[in-house]
Amino acid sequence: MNKEKSKTGSYLEILIYIAETLADPVCDYIAENIAVGVVLEETENSNVTAVKFYIEETADINRMNALRHYLAQIAEINSIAIPEIHERVVEVVDWEEKYRKSVKPVEISPELLIRPPWAESETRYKYEIIIEPKMAFGTGNDESTSNCLKLIQKYFVSGQRFLDFGCGSGILSVFADRLGASYIKAIDNNHDAIDCCFENFELNSVAVKHDIQHGSIAEIKPEEKYDMICANIATKPILQYLKPLIEHTIESGYLVLSGILVNEFEEIDNALMLANVETVDFIQGKMWLTYGIRK
């Protein structure tokens, strides 16, 4: 976070009232796509949660339009009215302090903790990953990333090759390194994500041979094969790249797919059936689906 920028200029306070059961996925979406600092506030109605965050007045309007689309999707899935977005201009405050207070360590499993750099290390965990929460997907707070981490922990074996397709913050790759990967390739088409991935590799002292590349499927050479490939992206690009991702997975290797909304399962199921691969694990979260596929 740029300290000077955080203390100057005008900001919009965005407030959304959402059913308590949907607060987590909405916060996940906001934290990964719009503003890393999200605050939850109690309301008089115990079944409703106020979700609050701040953006600069000059922020990209497309991100807010994407949020409206996302809220419309979850409203349709859960048969509720589309939550309203309330906006107001607020005075400048020390955003960095508020931001840091809003980002907490996340326990993925009894063995794995994800924490920001300013949180203290907790020695009771076998694995600990440090992630600088910036505008790159994957801090561990979102259920699609946490479920990918769970499947990686379950199926990845030390000495294997790992491909992180749509790497975002690099969190999945860092965990593969913790588990003893022999080689890691991380790819993303977003320059900010690549910068964050490099930073998080350094924060976590990733020393195994690796490549972090800007681009897409073309960055994978035809002869490259991986024991595990993770694609935590979205349904449309998963369908677009499913065939080459399967081709780059070794025989009996694993492909983890996530970023799929619960109402999009039919498209994925049909594609996997046509691809003649086996679904060996499946996690359904509140809003997102994660598939564990064996070739």
Residue 95 confidence (pLDDT): 55
Report, as ranges of residue numbers, the positions in the chain whose pLDDT lies below 50: 1-8
Contact 239, 256 (CB under 8 A): no
Residue 6 confidence (pLDDT): 41
Q: How many helices (H) and strands (E) does the chain have?
A: 9, 14
Residue 11 confidence (pLDDT): 77
Nearest to 165 by CA among 92, 238, 81, 251: 238
Residue 22 confidence (pLDDT): 86
Residue 147 confidence (pLDDT): 95
Contact 186, 171 (CB under 8 A): no
CA atoms of 224 and 222, how far apart (whole Å): 6
Residue 142 confidence (pLDDT): 82
pLDDT digits (tens, 9 = 90+) for 173-218: 999 999 999 999 999 998 888 999 999 999 999 999 999 999 999 9
CA atoms of 171 and 168, how far apart (whole Å): 8
Contact 293, 279 (CB under 8 A): yes
Residue 172 confidence (pLDDT): 97
Residue 217 confidence (pLDDT): 94
Domains of the chain: 3-101 (3.30.70.120), 142-294 (3.40.50.150)
Which tokens go with 210? Answer: 């690796």
Which tokens go with 163? Answer: 């491909």
Residue 47 confidence (pLDDT): 80
CA atoms of 176 and 160, how far apart (whole Å): 9
pLDDT digits (tens, 9 = 90+) for 136-159: 567 777 889 999 999 999 999 999
